[in-house]
């Protein structure tokens, strides 16, 4: 008589579990289970054998110890085709287990919650789960390991049609080891983050192995001869590009994704309705206004020539009026990212000529959380890691360095220009007026060159405007050029040995200048 097949089921995420396990019982599987999973299956009317009754050892320590038992791991690790293993299993009353269905305590979801305590986080470190997963994955020649609800349908179908074979189990084992590696890395990162040195400073981990999963293969990279792919973190923040949803449009490219992330970051810095126009990760237009359509109109007017083939960002749900303005003749927009789209706006943006199925419409959450995460930059042979420069601006320590105080209008424009400036590649110079970007000098080797470019872009519109610089002016020449363009107010970090010379230049031109005390290099 054929021995019954057995499946050990112990999961935290019970999505779709009842359907899957009922399918296993229909195939003749006997189900072993523990604690909450056992009760869930019993409530669904599925017959279950309690692991504690099988091991003859009760759960203890609030469930911390339940599956860490030789009868459990012997059943998973045992090789029934090996005479010595079969003899040991028989001697100790160990039954072979053919399928292990396990997912882990929600550690990453727990630590993502605001105000989670360290003891709460530590309690969500799974011990028995990873042990069973690794045991089953190691013995995948005899045992299938299922670690995610998304695998249920395919596994059940292959069991039903008899195609659950060595290749199937090997693929599941690979996914299982990826899961445990990611899980351990999340714990290691968390422990490093809550560990401080004697001075209270956080300690970088001794090793760093980010684990990312493939989201999509891209047509190519920055250029057609470069292969590319998009990988995402295991638990990305909901405001990140990894969690954005494409509602319409063509396939996303490498450059699209880079520019969409830049657009998302800029508009997220403003509380007022804001729009930005991105080219090559730099803003060629940006504005805030009382309504979104005005913000877009002003942003696009900042540099209409550069806006051709651009990425547009919004920090409000796109309404019908804004959609109408975007679709005006002569505009060529590659993609849009926003927290949402009104039904009327979505209708316009997916039916108008040149838009239809072409323009990519992306939707992503905008919240005040999720800032200050680590930023990674690959260099040959290594990885540079730093805190992301995306914390909200604090003007409590700003100082007015000049004789003249800024007017109310100038102060507002200076705050706007400073917010935009940190998103522009260094050396960054930003000309602005009336909460609108007039011209940006980006990525130049000389700050003076950036000033020339910003002044050229702004033209006569710069008269009465303001200038922001991501780092201090090393000499007065940058201020002199701004004054020639008609600029009336300056905002910069300060801290140069030539600060007195720069302040004197501002006073000579009857300009006002604010020192922020914070630099925003962006390489």
Q: What is the 3-state secondary structure (H, E, C) of 290-342?
A: CCHHHHHHHHHHCCCCCCCCEEEEECCCECHHHHHHHCCCCCCEEEEEECCEC
Confidence of residue 501 (pLDDT cuts 50, 70, 90): very high
Per-chain mean pLDDT for the chain? 88
Dmax over CA atoms of the chain, in Å, equals: 101
Long-range contacts from 235-242, C-beta under 8 angstroms, 24+ separation: 235/108, 235/109, 235/112, 235/186, 237/112, 237/369, 237/370, 237/373, 238/364, 238/365, 238/367, 238/370, 239/264, 239/268, 239/364, 239/365, 239/366, 239/367, 239/369, 239/370, 240/364, 240/370, 241/364, 242/215
Region of poorest pLDDT, from 49-53, 373-377, 513-517: 49-53
Q: Which of 110-114, 251-255, 316-320, 357-361 has the lowest mean pLDDT?
A: 110-114
CA distance 198 to 193: 14
Reported confidence tier of residue 397, pLDDT bands at 50, 70, 90: confident
Structure tokens at 225: 């001869």
Q: What is the pLDDT of residue 60?
A: 55
What is the C-alpha radius of gyration for the chain, rounded to an integer number of angstroms? 30
- pLDDT score for 82: 75
Could you tell me how many helices (H) and strands (E) the chain has, helices first?
18, 21
Q: Calculate what percentage of the chain has a pLDDT beyond 70.
A: 93
Question: Taking Cα atoms as reference points, which of 72, 99, 85, 437 lies closest to residue 274?
Answer: 437
**Least confident segment among 211-215, 220-224, 270-274:** 211-215
pLDDT at 326: 96
Q: Which of 61, 96, 46 minimizes the C-alpha distance to 75?
A: 96
Where on the phi/psi map is residue 104: left (φ > 0), alpha (ψ -120 to 50), or beta?
beta
Give the whole-angstrom CA distance, residue 257 versus residue 241: 8
Contact between residue 24 and residue 31 where contact means Cβ atoms under 8 Å apart? yes
Q: Is pLDDT above 90 for 207?
A: no
For position 33, what pLDDT does the model report? 84
CA neighbor of 125 nearest in space, from 107, 143, 100: 107
pLDDT-based confidence at residue 221 (cuts at 50, 70, 90): very high
The predicted structure's pLDDT at residue 317: 97
Q: Annotated catalytic, 279?
A: no
State the pLDDT at residue 56. Answer: 55
Of residues 5, 171, 237, 280, which has the active-site annotation? Answer: 280
Residue 59 has pLDDT above 70, yes or no: no
Strand partners, 439: 431
Q: Are 360 and 257 in contact (CB under 8 A)?
A: no
pLDDT at 198: 55
Among all chains, which residue has been given the structure tokens 């057609």?
A: 224
Strand order in the sheet with 429-433: 245-248, 360-363, 333-338, 310-314, 274-279, 282-288, 436-441, 429-433, 466-469, 489-492, 512-515, 399-400
- 404 band by pLDDT with thresholds 50, 70 and 90: very high
Question: In the beta sheet, which residues pair with residue 100?
Answer: 8, 145
Per-residue pLDDT tens digits for 85-132: 778 777 777 788 889 899 888 888 888 787 888 888 888 888 888 888
Q: What is the pLDDT of residue 200?
A: 57
Q: Does domain 213-363 have CATH number 3.40.140.20?
A: yes
Angle made by CA atoms 473, 478, 483, in degrees to the nearest 5 = 130
In the chain, CATH 3.40.140.20 sits at 213-363, 399-515
pLDDT confidence tier of residue 352, bands split at 50, 70 and 90? very high
Range among 6-20, 184-198, 201-215, 293-307 rated most confident? 293-307
For residue 92, the model assigns a pLDDT of 77
Spatial distance between the Cα atoms of 481 and 460, rounded to a whole number of angstroms: 14
Structure tokens at 36: 């909450």
Reply yes or no on whether the pLDDT at 206 is more than 90: no
Kindly name the residue from 5, 138, 171, 237 that is annotated as catalytic. 138
Report CA-CA distances (Å) from 15 to 125, 152, 213, 305: 20, 10, 21, 51
Give the residue-averaged pLDDT of 472-497.
Answer: 92
| Cα–Cα distance measured from residue 482 to residue 461, given in angstroms and rounded to the nearest whole number | 12
158 HSE (CA, 13 A, CB side):
16
Dihedral (C-alpha) 256, 261, 263, 265: value to the nearest 10 degrees? 180
**Tokens read off for 53:** 């009754």
Domain 399-515 fold:
Cytidine Deaminase; domain 2 (3.40.140)
Q: Which pLDDT belongs to residue 57?
A: 58
Residue 149 and residue 13: Cα distance in Å, rounded?
8
Q: Do 457 and 437 meet the contact criterion of CB atoms below 8 Å apart?
A: no
Which tens digit of pLDDT belongs to each residue from 2-47? 567 888 888 888 899 989 989 888 888 888 888 788 888 888 888 8
* Contact partners, residue 141, CB within 8 Å, separation at least 6: 79, 166, 169
- Mean pLDDT, range 330-347, rounded to an integer: 95
pLDDT of residue 445: 92
158, 20 Cβ separation under 8 angstroms: no
Q: Between residues 442 and 49, which one has the greater pLDDT?
A: 442
Known active-site residue 92? no
The residue with greater pLDDT, 72 or 241, is 241
Helix residue spans in 163-202 (DSSP H): 166-193
Q: Tell me what pLDDT residue 1 has.
A: 40
Confirm if 209 and 185 have CB atoms less than 8 A apart: yes
β-sheet bridge partners, residue 115: none
**Encoded tokens for 413:** 């424009």
Burial of 210 (0-12, 13-18, 19+ CB in 10 A): middle
pLDDT attached to residue 6: 87
CATH 3.40.80.10 corresponds to the domain 5-193 = no
Q: What is the pLDDT of residue 35?
A: 78
Which residues lie closer than 8 Å to 26 by C-beta, 6 or more apart?
Answer: none
């Amino acid at each position: 008589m054929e021995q019954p097949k057995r499946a050990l089921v112990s999961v935290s995420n019970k999505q779709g579990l009842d359907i899957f396990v009922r399918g296993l019982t229909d195939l003749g599987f006997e189900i072993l289970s523990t604690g909450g999973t056992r009760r869930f299956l019993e409530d669904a009317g599925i017959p279950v054998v309690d692991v504690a009754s099988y091991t003859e050892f009760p759960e203890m320590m609030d469930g911390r110890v339940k599956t860490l038992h030789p009868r459990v791991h012997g059943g998973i690790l045992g090789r029934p085709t090996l005479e010595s293993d079969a003899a040991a299993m028989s001697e100790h009353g160990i039954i072979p287990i053919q399928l292990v269905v396990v997912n882990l305590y929600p550690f990453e979801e727990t630590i993502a919650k605001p105000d989670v305590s360290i003891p709460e986080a530590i309690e969500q470190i799974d011990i028995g789960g990873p042990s069973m997963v690794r045991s089953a994955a190691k013995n995948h020649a005899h045992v299938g390991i299922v670690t995610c609800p998304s695998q249920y349908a395919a596994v059940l179908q292959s069991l039903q049609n008899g195609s659950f074979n060595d290749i199937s189990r090997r693929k599941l084992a690979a996914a299982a080891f990826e899961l445990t590696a990611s899980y351990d890395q999340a714990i290691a990162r968390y422990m490093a983050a809550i560990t401080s040195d004697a001075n209270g400073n956080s300690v970088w981990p001794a090793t760093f192995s980010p684990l990312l999963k493939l989201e999509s293969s891209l047509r190519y990279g920055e250029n057609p001869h470069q292969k590319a792919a998009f990988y995402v973190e295991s638990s990305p923040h909901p405001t990140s590009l990894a969690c954005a949803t494409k509602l319409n449009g063509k396939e996303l490219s490498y450059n699209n994704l880079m520019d969409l992330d830049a657009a998302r970051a800029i508009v997220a810095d403003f509380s007022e309705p804001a729009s930005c126009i991105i080219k090559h990760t730099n803003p060629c237009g940006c504005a805030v206004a009382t309504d979104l359509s005005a913000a877009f109109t002003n942003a696009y007017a900042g540099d209409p020539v550069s806006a051709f083939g651009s990425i547009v960002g919004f920090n409000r749900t796109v309404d019908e009026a804004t959609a109408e303005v975007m679709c005006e003749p002569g505009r060529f927009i590659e993609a849009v990212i926003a927290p949402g789209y009104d039904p009327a706006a979505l209708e316009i943006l997916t039916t108008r000529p040149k838009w239809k199925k072409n323009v990519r419409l992306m939707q992503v959450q905008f919240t005040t959380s999720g800032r200050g995460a680590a930023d990674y930059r690959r260099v040959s042979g290594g990885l540079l890691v730093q805190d992301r420069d995306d914390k909200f601006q604090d003007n409590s320590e700003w100082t007015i360095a000049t004789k003249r105080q800024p007017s109310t209008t100038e102060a507002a424009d200076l705050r706007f220009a400073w917010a935009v400036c940190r998103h522009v590649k260094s050396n960054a110079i930003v000309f602005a007026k009336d909460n609108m970007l007039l011209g940006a000098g980006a990525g130049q080797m000389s700050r003076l060159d950036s000033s020339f470019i910003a002044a050229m872009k702004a033209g006569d519109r710069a008269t009465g405007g303001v200038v922001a610089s991501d780092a201090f002016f090393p000499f007065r020449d940058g201020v002199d050029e701004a004054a020639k363009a008609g600029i009336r107010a300056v905002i910069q970090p300060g801290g140069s040995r030539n600060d007195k010379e720069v302040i004197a230049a501002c006073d000579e031109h009857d300009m006002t200048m604010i020192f922020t005390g914070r630099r925003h290099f962006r390489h």
